[in-house]
Amino acid sequence: MTTTAETEWARHTAGGVLLDGFHALKHALRFGARVPVALATDREAALALTGRLAPDLTAALDGLLREVPAGTLRTLVPRPHPTGVAALARRDSAPRMPWGNAADAPLVVLDNPRNLGNVGAVVRLAAGAGVAGVLTTGDADPWHHAAVRAGAGLHFAVPVERCRSEQLPRRPLFAFDPEGEDLRRVELPAGALLAFGSERHGLTEELRARADHLVALPMRPQVSSYNLATSVAMALYHWMARPE
């Protein structure tokens, strides 16, 4: 027999973003996501976790969380989080991408990424660094539940969208490539696009040709590459550490 919680979940699945785990729900709520339904296999434990890690959300989650059996959650969520918490957030409550030239912070561009875990990790980095947004090209959906899980719900803290290469904003484009100038000698200007290639193939020829500057990350000889999220972290740290 279908429960009230399952019916409510089904009603919000279309247009909803899966928040898989307590931390994803916590971050989404903090950054203004509209969350119509949230479930927990142990409501009391989830509220106790809220009291320890997010007391600012205690009232909101007390009114939102519904308890369901673990078996029910497993039918609704592909891979339930160890916290036993899952929710659906409205995608249309996410921040919008600043397509114009007003933003001073850089935009991170992931050129045809293949690993959704890496995409989520980059979103998490971008949110922490305060970038203007994360744009992806290619087939991978940056809002796939695996990416949102890896991003710990921080897709609601920074604009995240997919577009075609020709739709990228017309801003200075700094593309990271082994043949570029050492990052330590490069000044990243306000509002720049910081573009990173896929984990296996690097930048597409289209984006590489469009780049205003090629930039290389410092790397020990004989080491072939960094992880994508690590590369983005190095670039964003360089930007954050610039003299004011």
Domains of the chain, earliest start first: 4-93 (3.30.1330.30), 107-240 (3.40.1280.10)
Rounded Cα distance, 153 and 104, in Å: 24
The β-bridge relationship of strands 16-20 and 65-67 is: unpaired
3-state secondary structure the chain: CCCHHHHHHHHHHCCEEEEECHHHHHHHHHCCCCCCEEEECCHHHHHHHHHHHCHHHHHHHHHHEEECCHHHHHHHCCCCCCCCEEEEEEHHHCCCCCCCCCCCCCEEEECCCCCHHHHHHHHHHHHHHCCCEEEECCCCCCCCHHHHHHCCCHHHCCCEEECCHHHCCCCCEEEEEEEEEEHHHCCCCCCCEEEECECCCECCHHHHHHCCEEEECCCCCCCCCCCHHHHHHHHHHHHHCCCC
Whether the per-residue pLDDT at 102 is higher than 70: the answer is: no
119-178 confidence digits (pLDDT tens): 999 999 999 999 999 999 999 999 999 999 999 999 999 999 999 999 999 899 999 998
Picking from 167, 131, 157, 160, the residue whose alpha carbon sits closest to that of residue 143 is 160
**CA separation for the pair 188, 127 (Å, rounded):** 18
For residue 244, the model assigns a pLDDT of 67
Q: Is the pLDDT of residue 237 over 60?
A: yes
pTM for this one? 0.92
Query: How large a percentage of the chain has pLDDT more than 70?
Result: 97
The CA distance from 150 to 148, in Å, is 5
**In terms of C-beta density within 10 A (0-12 exposed, 13-18 middle, 19 or more buried), how is residue 236 classed?**
buried
Residue 1, pLDDT > 50, answer no
Tokens for 221?
A: 């000889």
What angle do the packed helices 22-30 and 43-53 form, to 10 degrees? 50
Residue given tokens 């003299």 in the structure block = 243
**Residue 99 — pLDDT band, cuts 50, 70, 90?**
confident
Tell me: the pLDDT tens digits for 204-225? 999 999 999 999 999 898 888 8
